[in-house]
Chains A and B, each alone.
Chain A
Amino acid sequence: MKLGYFPGCTLKTNAKHFEDSAMQVMELLGQPLEEMENWICCGTVFSMTTDDLMLQLASIRNLLRAENQGYDELVTLCSMCYNTLKRAKEFILNDEENLRKVNDFMYREEAKFKGTTDVVHLLSILKDRITFDEIKNKVTKPLTDLKIGAYYGCLLVRPKELAIDDFEDPTIMEELVDTLGGEGVVFPYRLECCGAYQTVTEKDVTVKRTYEIINSARNAGCEALITSCPLCAFNLDQRQKETSEEFLEFSTMPVFYFTELMAIALGLKWNKDWKKLHYINPVPLLKEKGLI
């Protein structure tokens, strides 16, 4: 089965290290990701209005192109792409009238949208297709003594119909950390919103959220966080700058994409360029644990 890869807007820029590490990891696991052609931004957020189909067109155009390129499954790394593409697909397919209207807009495409390509998040591929047992066999540098909090945020688990795991008590990312030889730590705020796009207009909101989420993780014993959402990563990592300025007792914590830690555990070389994309320098922690 062919796995198509949908990057989305931020995986080529601020989250380049997410893409790089994921590509290398999947290559090593024998399921390389093939970037689909002619993709466009999915829109990043699903529009929940029932009466405006224009806001669904970007997602549907991507799915239609993936279908035409012969992909049975379209893999996303970004939680927001996953959510937006998948919800748009279900919203349009569940209503014949919507499907007809949307297809009227697709006159420049080679075929009509049918909805045959599944949208899947990389974490599901790792767990269900490759399996964590298989990954465990390939670990050469276990994340020994590293306590990692998995920050799910919102869009991997809500709405519950498309949650990649239990929507109130997911374990998939903690299981992955354990598979890599680390310790997956459950902390109270792992499903609590980081403030998302409020970071543009209401920075204070995201600063306070970052303060609460990182403290929640620290109090549970975490030494670092992992995430799969570039917007969460921006808020939880970069906004630690403002958080440190506002809350003087705050102590910082590195934030990784889960694939970065997979790359290390699977024996791939830590790429020095990845460090530049982190605000909180993760190198001291990785060195302390003997991982780089």
Chain B
Amino acid sequence: MSLKITREKIKNSLVDKIEEISGQNVFDCYQCGICSSGCPVTDYMDYSPNQVMRLLQLGSVDEILNSKTIWICSTCLQCSTRCPKGIEVAQVMEALRTINLRQREGTLKPEDIKSKELKDLPPIALVSAFRKLTG
């Protein structure tokens, strides 16, 4: 993948917003990759968690906001627990989802849940999915 890095891009105000919502400094990351090695769902992601951190450092917010990764993250907190720099990576993922959700762009469309599925799914699955994946 090729990336054009410009001063304007790196000084992206959306990165500031992500830092504000998550309470994390994305420039703390030194790319050791332990977040990605512990993540149980990287198979389904387009960018691994450490790539998300790197792209944020380079100001490539659009790639990340449109990525599958932020929605596949299940908030298991393994990355946050293991980061040697103490970055709460899961909180960065939450901030990225939140920016989309505040524009009402989530990935869960309630009308798409089949009635058979709805009958089987427990309240705990529905409430948590609505909280994390709908705006």
Contact = CB atoms under 8 A, between A and B. Distances in A.
Interface of A: 8-10, 13-15, 41, 43-45, 47-52, 55, 78, 80, 154, 158-160, 167-168, 191-193, 195-202, 204-205, 208-209, 230-231, 234, 238
Contacts of A48: 22, 75, 88, 90-91, 94-95
Contacts of B107: 201
A49 to B, nearest CB: 5
Given A167-B81, A195-B41, A51 B21 contact: yes
Given A158-B78, A202-B72, A238-B120, A47 B131 contact: yes
Nearest to A159: B77
27 contacts: A15-B122, A41-B123, A45-B128, A47-B131, A49-B98, A50-B21, A50-B23, A51-B21, A80-B128, A154-B75, A154-B77, A158-B81, A159-B80, A159-B81, A192-B40, A192-B76, A193-B40, A196-B74, A196-B75, A196-B76, A200-B117, A200-B126, A201-B71, A201-B107, A230-B124, A234-B122, A234-B125
Interface string B103-135: 000011000010001001111111111011100
B122 A10 contact: yes
Contact of A160 (B21, B22, B71, B81): B81
Nearest to A8: B124
Scoring A49, A52, A80 by chain B CB atoms within 10 A of each residue's CB, the highest score goes to A49
Contacts of B126: 200
Contacts of A202: 44, 71-72
Interface residues of B, number: 40
A195 B75 CA distance: 9
Contacts of A43: 127, 131
Nearest to B17: A51
Nearest to A81: B124
Contacts of B90: 48
Contacts of A195: 40-41, 74
B76 A199 contact: no
A51 B76 CA distance: 21
Q: Is the interface of B mostly helix, strand, loop or mixed?
A: helix
Given A49-B95, A50-B21, A50-B23, A78 B124 contact: yes
B62 interface: no
B100 to A, nearest CB: 12
Given A9-B123, A199-B129, A230-B122, 11 more contacts: A41-B127, A45-B127, A48-B91, A48-B94, A49-B98, A160-B81, A197-B125, A201-B71, A201-B133, A205-B74, A209-B40
B8 interface: no
Nearest to A234: B122
Contact of A10 (B74, B77, B123): B123
Q: Is the interface of A mostly helix, strand, loop or mixed?
A: loop
A238 B117 CA distance: 12
Contacts of B72: 198, 202, 205
B127 A9 contact: yes
9 closest cross-chain pairs (CB), A and B: A193-B76, A14-B122, A200-B129, A158-B77, A9-B123, A197-B128, A197-B129, A10-B124, A48-B94
Contact of A197 (B78, B91, B132): B132
A113 to B, nearest CB: 21
Given A10-B123, A48-B88, A209-B40, A158 B76 contact: yes
A192 B81 CA distance: 13
A146 to B, nearest CB: 26
